[in-house]
Structure 1
Amino acid sequence: MNATTTNSIDMPSGASWAAHARHPGYRRMFAPDALTLGIFLPLRFYEGDMRVLAGQSRLVSDIDARGFAAAWVRDIPLYDPRFGDAGQLFDPFTYLAYLAARTQRISLATGSAIFSLRHPIDLAKSAATIDQLSGGRLVMGIASGDRPIEFPAYGLQHDQRAERFAQAVADFRRLLQPGRRALTSPLGHITDAELLPKPAAGPIPLLVTGASGQSPDWIAAHADGWLTYPGSSVVPAGPKALGQKIQAWRDRIPDGGFRPHATNEWIDLVDDPTHPPTLLHGGFILQIGRHALIDLLSQWQTAGVNHVALGIQFSRRPAAEAIQELAEEVLPRFPSHEDVPPLDMDW
């Protein structure tokens, strides 16, 4: 087998939905003109006591059994008090491997893995391992990083994160291609070696988060999907503006094929189903009843959104109660796609 050498950051590019249509994780979440629901972890906000996460994996198993499309974890290597958010605390890849053993169908998603901080060999090794252990359920939101304190801790320059992100994406994809690799890039040199394992069901889908320091044309050419904040959730102009942004991105996609869009919202789901959408904590949290939530999700679907990850860590109701209401009253209107089951992996 001949090795392949390349040093351009422009290849390989992103793949269309058709290229991932048999990938269990991607297909469970995405289809044209449809919207599915995921849940962001943690289910309760960390305020200095790890016990807030007690029992969370059991609830994730319940989220899986109830038919949600995805469980999302964040990649926050260091806690910066100025941000006030430690994510789900656990390393995202270790935790997803643990959750893979506790779930059966749900997609396992990163939102988002910081490609600018981590070496592509380590990213590829961890990602392919989880994809194999889960039967092809890994979908990766990826980003360049927004916490300046982390970059000098890794010996990196914060102002170089955009260039490093683009290079890491290219190297990550090459490392997971079939066969041995000879790879030369600013991030390292490989001669006639192979990274194992390979993914279970073809290339691992990469959803670029926001701009990640890249141009709109780069995102259109290289992303397997796009993950962005939704903008305003309390006025009709918000979903309309989001739809225009999504369409402008899709108009730039070189082959004109479908690429999915995903967004997220932190909600306080109140027990009054008629409660109108109300912004709390400077707009960071959306307090809402299920009727208004269903209406908002429908507007986002019309705008071209294909998946919404809901964070309930700030909800004042018990997590299990909020999950039950979402599963019974909201999820049936936005069902997950069941036609490509996970691969049967007996490790």
Structure 2
Amino acid sequence: MRAAAQASSWQSHPGYGRMFAPGELTVGLFLPLWPYAGDMAGLRGQTEIVQQAERHGFAAAWVRDVPLADPSFGDVGQVYDPWTALTWLAAHTSRIGLAAGSVIFPLRHPIDLAKQAASLDHLSGGRLVLGAASGDRPVEFPAYGLDHAARGARYREAVGSFRELLRAEQPGGAGGAHLLPKPVHGRVPLLVTGSSQQSPEWIAEHADGRLVHPMNTSTPEGPRALGRTIEAWRALVPEGEFRPVATNDWIDLDEDPGFPPTPLRGGFVLRTGTQGLLELLGRWRDAGVNHGALGVQHGRRPAAEVVAQLGEEVIPHFPALASPAPLEPAW
């Protein structure tokens, strides 16, 4: 009964329902659409492209949580705080899923996580899908006064507390204190990112889905290997309940539709034409992936041009799914 109730609950979730269904693959857009180059004014214009992506039928817009700019990484994310960025997008869009890929749970207090997530969920009408990561930038942990090596245990504690705080019933805290608001649809879908220092068994029990590394995307063997990993993990899920899997890749979309998939920067970026991209997305779907988030910030062409081409030539093959309309924000 528990698994059936959860599946039914998620069917009414506008963000989850737009992105995930068994045997289907949808496509999202990973922000930023171009990298920070030392001038905040240079980041302007991305909102309009996300609105364009929504009109074309992209399933979700993704942002990242990168608290500190670490020069050794050479990647500062979209610069803005993820909750602020997603709230901005919620105010400037109407139906596209709003996804975090991913918030670093061990760095945040569970009360703040729950308050921010539930507030954004309400203000977006129930469109939030939350990726939760343990953190891969060691420099951030001592800056917060935390031990990087203890992040796995902190992650488990944060997930448990986050869920408890968002329960519909009032938790038995001191003096009856409890958290408001509660999520629009009872819970916020939580995707465990990578392993997050947890065992596959723990993830199968506690995650509402997974955000996984895509492996090699330039040859068919990469998606096949990914499929074996997904199959092994899903075998651990209680009662065979559907739990979606998402992945992402950075692409440099070539003007030539037939340009062959070519790995760049050690495989971090895939240069390909639309034909090769459609083949990759099809392989992901066959492997059991339910959503693929594409980043274009490392490509050579203007982001607006690439997103328009994706919307015309790729999204019709992997469109957003029919889902309930987001609720009107009650504020």
- SS of residue paired to 1:181: coil
* CA shift for structure 1 position 51: 2.6
User: What is the aligned partner in structure 1 of residue 53 from structure 2?
Assistant: 63
* CA shift for structure 1 position 339: 2.9
8 Å CA contact 2:9, 2:185 repeated in 1: no
Q: Which 4+ stretches in 1 moved above 6 angstroms?
A: none
8 Å CA contact 2:168, 2:186 repeated in 1: no
Give the number of equivalent residue pairs: 329
Amino acid at match of 1:163: A
Q: Equivalent of 2:289, from 302, 305, 330?
A: 305
Give the unaligned 5+ runs of structure 2: none
Q: Equivalent of 1:234, from 218, 224, 241?
A: 218
Amino acid at match of 2:273: G
Q: Equivalent of 1:106, from 96, 117, 126?
A: 96
**Offset from partner CA, 1:305-343 (integer Å, 9 cap, x none):** 000000000111111100011000000000111232211
Query: Hey, what's the Cα distance between the residues in 1 that align with 2:289 and 2:187?
Result: 23
8 Å CA contact 2:152, 2:198 repeated in 1: yes
Query: Hey, what's the Cα distance between the residues in 1 that align with 2:149 and 2:6?
Result: 31
Query: Hey, what's the Cα distance between the residues in 1 that align with 2:37 and 2:7?
Result: 39
Query: Hey, what's the Cα distance between the residues in 2 that align with 1:305 and 1:211?
Result: 16
User: What is the aligned partner in structure 2 of residue 197 from structure 1?
Assistant: 181
Amino acid at match of 1:42: P
Amino acid at match of 2:313: E
Query: Hey, what's the Cα distance between the residues in 1 that align with 2:228 and 2:294?
Result: 22
Q: Does 1:157 align with 2:147?
A: yes
Amino acid at match of 1:140: L
**Offset from partner CA, 1:83-133 (integer Å, 9 cap, x none):** 110000000001111110000010000000000100010000000000000
Query: What is the identity percentage for the equivalent residue pairs of Structure 1 and Structure 2?
Result: 57
8 Å CA contact 2:102, 2:133 repeated in 1: yes
- SS of residue paired to 1:279: strand
Q: Does 1:170 align with 2:156?
A: no
8 Å CA contact 1:17, 1:224 repeated in 2: no
Q: Equivalent of 2:240, from 242, 256, 260?
A: 256
Query: Hey, what's the Cα distance between the residues in 2 that align with 1:30 and 1:16?
Result: 14
Query: Hey, what's the Cα distance between the residues in 2 that align with 1:335 and 1:175?
Result: 34
User: What is the aligned partner in structure 2 of residue 243 from structure 1?
Assistant: 227
User: What is the aligned partner in structure 1 of residue 135 from structure 2?
Assistant: 145
> TM (normalized to structure 1)?
0.92
* CA shift for structure 1 position 261: 0.4
User: What is the aligned partner in structure 2 of residue 84 from structure 1?
Assistant: 74
**Offset from partner CA, 1:72-93 (integer Å, 9 cap, x none):** 0000000000011000000000
Give the unaligned 5+ runs of structure 1: 1-11, 184-189
Amino acid at match of 1:138: L
* CA shift for structure 1 position 49: 2.1
8 Å CA contact 1:38, 1:309 repeated in 2: yes
Q: How well do the aligned residues superpose, as a CA RMSD in angstroms?
A: 1.4
Query: Hey, what's the Cα distance between the residues in 2 that align with 1:36 and 1:213?
Result: 27
Q: Equivalent of 2:316, from 313, 325, 332?
A: 332
Amino acid at match of 2:270: L
- SS of residue paired to 1:182: coil
Amino acid at match of 1:54: R
Query: Hey, what's the Cα distance between the residues in 2 that align with 1:271 and 1:170?
Result: 47
> TM (normalized to structure 2)?
0.97
* CA shift for structure 1 position 143: 0.3
Q: Does 1:47 align with 2:37?
A: yes
Q: Does 1:133 align with 2:123?
A: yes
User: What is the aligned partner in structure 2 of residue 3 from structure 1?
Assistant: none
Amino acid at match of 1:230: P
User: What is the aligned partner in structure 1 of residue 199 from structure 2?
Assistant: 215
* CA shift for structure 1 position 239: 0.9
Amino acid at match of 1:134: S
Q: Equivalent of 1:276, from 253, 257, 260?
A: 260
* CA shift for structure 1 position 63: 1.3
